[in-house]
Amino acid sequence: MTLSETVRLDTSQLRAQAPKLKAGDKILLSGVAYTSRDAAHKRIKKLMDEGEPLPYELKDAVIYYAGPTPAPEGMPIGSCGPTTSGRMDRFAPEFLDKGLVAMIGKGERSEEVCEAIRRNGAVYLCAVGGCGALAASCIKQCDVIAFDDLGCESVKRLVFEDFPLIVAIDCSGGNIFANARQLYAAAD
């Protein structure tokens, strides 16, 4: 794969395709993903600790760190841009160890999360921040499935169609954030 090509993938293909994806690859992702942010992560972790059923199966799931706005008339969702992923870093390694295959958000991740991504053959995908309307145009269905009382932070089941993403951290240790710093330092 080269940096110039864009790969179309379905979320159901991510587990098999993750070893082939490299940091910097561009993806148009279709399929099912779940929104989950800080408050929802806390509740999901509590359910895990108590051995209770989760709102969605973590194995091979894709989490989108987003808190969409209410849907305007005729649309399945309002603005739905990514939130800063680092706020979920304390939960991510355990979720990855339970089978999570991909996380979508923006910004860097901790070394513990990077190691869990490698250990579990997963990927971290970045969406462009500030483009919530573009993101919403790629979401064809949105259903609240848990924690409705959390409002925009409730867990939603989304159906993507050609959602534009970049592989930020791959399961081989590639990391666009670290790579960019190295390139910048080498340019001095």
State yes or no: pLDDT of 1 exceeds 80: no
- Confirm whether 44 is domain-assigned: yes
State yes or no: pLDDT of 185 exceeds 80: no
pLDDT by residue (tens digit) across 5-16?
799 999 999 999
- Confirm whether 45 is domain-assigned: yes
- Confirm whether 16 is domain-assigned: yes
pLDDT by residue (tens digit) across 145-174?
999 999 999 999 999 999 999 999 999 999
- Residue 95 sits in a domain of what CATH number? 3.20.130.10
Closest to 117 (Cα-Cα) out of 3, 21, 4 = 21
Q: Which residues share a beta bridge with 155?
A: 146
Total count of domains within the chain:
1
- Confirm whether 57 is domain-assigned: yes
- Confirm whether 1 is domain-assigned: no
Count, residues in the chain: 188
- Confirm whether 123 is domain-assigned: yes
Question: Per the structure block, which two tokens stand in for 74?
Answer: 């005729």
- Confirm whether 177 is domain-assigned: yes
- Confirm whether 133 is domain-assigned: yes
Provide the residue range defining the domain that includes 11.
6-187
DSSP string for residues in 26-49: EEEEEEEEEE--HHHHHHHHHHHH
